[in-house]
Amino acid sequence: MLAATGAAGASALAGCGGGGGSPETEDGDGGGGGGGGDATVTVGAEGAAHFDPQTTQISVGQTVVWNSVSADHQIVAEETPEGADWSGMSGQILGPDENYSHTFETAGTYTYSCVYHSGAGEGTIEVSE
């Protein structure tokens, strides 16, 4: 389930694209991320790994927010733990200053990539009990 939740908070991170405020998309049961120990992954930073950090560690029930700093990103799951319900973004494409978030409810290791930048490597989410 994806839902528009208002203007995304722009971060102070520099990217390889310009842009204005765009909607945040949310997936899962969470409240959109940003507080209470949730994690942020920067997507498409110039001169850095495609996902920064490449490995993110959270606990069950926490949210990961992917913050796009350049154009054309679609996060998709490559591998997920048994019983997990996350497959990544469903048809949405992130532009500059747009966010996507998901609350992880199943412990285990998740790997993901960008549909449009598959050669740029994978990211990992490690979810603990």
* Extents of the domains making up the chain: 20-128
Quick: pLDDT tens for 76-125. 999 999 999 999 998 899 999 999 999 999 999 999 999 988 778 899 99
The SS3 assignment for 116 reads helix
- Residue 35: per-residue pLDDT: 44
d(CA 66, CA 99): 5
CATH tag, 20-128: 2.60.40.420
Q: Dump pLDDT digits (tens) for 21-59.
A: 344 555 543 333 344 579 999 999 776 678 999 999 999
pTM of the model: 0.72
